[in-house]
Amino acid sequence: MNQQKLFGQIQKKRSFLCVGLDTDILKIPAHLLESPDPVFSFNREIIDATAQYTVAYKPNIAFYESLGWQGWQSLEKTVDYIRKNHPEIFLIADAKRGDIGNTSGLYARAFFEKLDFDAVTVAPYMGEDSVKPFMAYPERWVILLALTSNKGASDFQFLKDEASGDCLFEKVLKISREWGSAENMMYVVGATKAEKLKEIRRIVPDHFLLVPGVGAQGGSLQEVARNGMNQKCGLLVNSSRGIIYASSDTGFADKAGEAAHEVQREMELLLREKGLI
């Protein structure tokens, strides 16, 4: 999917919501545990209940991997289900991969060929050749970690480069923006650092930003929109637990739909405020 199509979906759905499919077998409603593939059954119901309010889904690969090959099977079924039933969705593998060139090429094969994802989150530590193989696929995206929302972000991401005075996350933005374009690269920017968004927007004015951490991790949607939105929206804001675990009983999917709808309504106001719809 290219940037224009993604922006078109945002305008059509009046939403820049990404729903994180962090599906934990320990948190799935009890009645689903009897189905042959509880993780997939849960995802399917969540997807059908929320797809009209969301432009993107983001399975967190760790949750599937923790179940071994059966988890990977649930992941493949989830991707196939979305592709078949909701083909307009932007599909993100939250995998945080990154390795030497030929190995990153295999991760790209895993997520773009074996599975039909639009984008993969990638860690920048190993530099250009660890990122580039993901960008060799037309209309597929790298979403590079820049500034994350967790406590450990401060361990290295704010280290100040002697030569330029930039922090590491700023160097990551400035160096990596040369590797591709706003058509194949996005950045992960933690919403708990909303005050940093303005600064990041100055460095990458045209790129989409994937913002985790609104909701459970404490960011404010208004603040993110105010500081991070550009003329093509330029934001995908993720919510996981607040939506998919809105309820744990048999009506869980309806409750997830309501929770997603609530976020969508707030996003619609923000898109109108900016004059994008």
Least Cβ distance, residue 185 to its own copies (angstroms): 15
Least Cβ distance, residue 165 to its own copies (angstroms): 7
Structural contact between residues 18 and 57, judged by C-beta atoms closer than 8 angstroms = yes
Binding residues for its own copies restricted to 235-264, rule: CB under 8 A: none
Binding test (CB under 8 A) with its own copies, winner from 48, 88, 110, 247: 110
Total number of residues that touch its own copies (CB under 8 A): 59
Tell which residue, 158, 156, 146, 236, has the closest CA to residue 188.
Answer: 146
d(CA 42, CA 249): 12
Report if residue 87 touches its own copies, rule: CB under 8 A: no
d(CA 210, CA 177): 15
- Select the span of 154-162, 192-200, 250-258, 269-277 touching its own copies (CB under 8 A): 154-162
Report if residue 104 touches its own copies, rule: CB under 8 A: yes
Active-site choice (96, 132, 174, 274): 96
Report if residue 163 touches its own copies, rule: CB under 8 A: yes
Secondary element (H or E) of residue 154? helix 153-156
- Select the span of 10-18, 48-56, 110-118, 222-230 touching its own copies (CB under 8 A): 110-118
Report if residue 180 touches its own copies, rule: CB under 8 A: no
3-state SS class at 92: strand
Report if residue 203 touches its own copies, rule: CB under 8 A: no
Of residues 132 and 274, the one with the C-beta less far from its own copies: 132
Of residues 80 and 254, the one with the C-beta less far from its own copies: 80
Report if residue 81 touches its own copies, rule: CB under 8 A: no
DSSP strand pairing (17-21 vs 119-122)? unpaired
Report if residue 107 touches its own copies, rule: CB under 8 A: yes
Report if residue 231 touches its own copies, rule: CB under 8 A: no
Report if residue 138 touches its own copies, rule: CB under 8 A: no
96 is catalytic: yes
Of residues 1 and 145, the one with the C-beta less far from its own copies: 145
Residues 6 or more apart whose CB falls under 8 angstroms from that of 80 comprise: 116
Binding residues for its own copies restricted to 14-73, rule: CB under 8 A: 22, 60, 62-63, 65-70, 72-73
Residue type present at position 259? A
From residue 126, alpha-carbon distances to 54, 109, 171, 178 in Å are 33, 19, 13, 16
Query: Given CA atoms 42, 266, 231, 144 in this order, what sign does their dihedral have?
Result: negative
The tokens describing 215, both together, are 């909701």
Residue type present at position 230? N
d(CA 224, CA 256): 22
Least Cβ distance, residue 95 to its own copies (angstroms): 9
Q: What is the CA angle 179-106-84, rounded to 5?
A: 95
d(CA 203, CA 150): 22
Structural contact between residues 233 and 10, judged by C-beta atoms closer than 8 angstroms = yes
The tokens describing 202, both together, are 């100055």
Q: Which residues bind its own copies (CB under 8 A)?
A: 22, 60, 62-63, 65-70, 72-73, 76, 94, 96-101, 103-104, 106-107, 109-110, 113-115, 123-131, 145, 148-157, 159-163, 165, 168, 171-172, 175
By annotation, the residues acting in catalysis are: 96
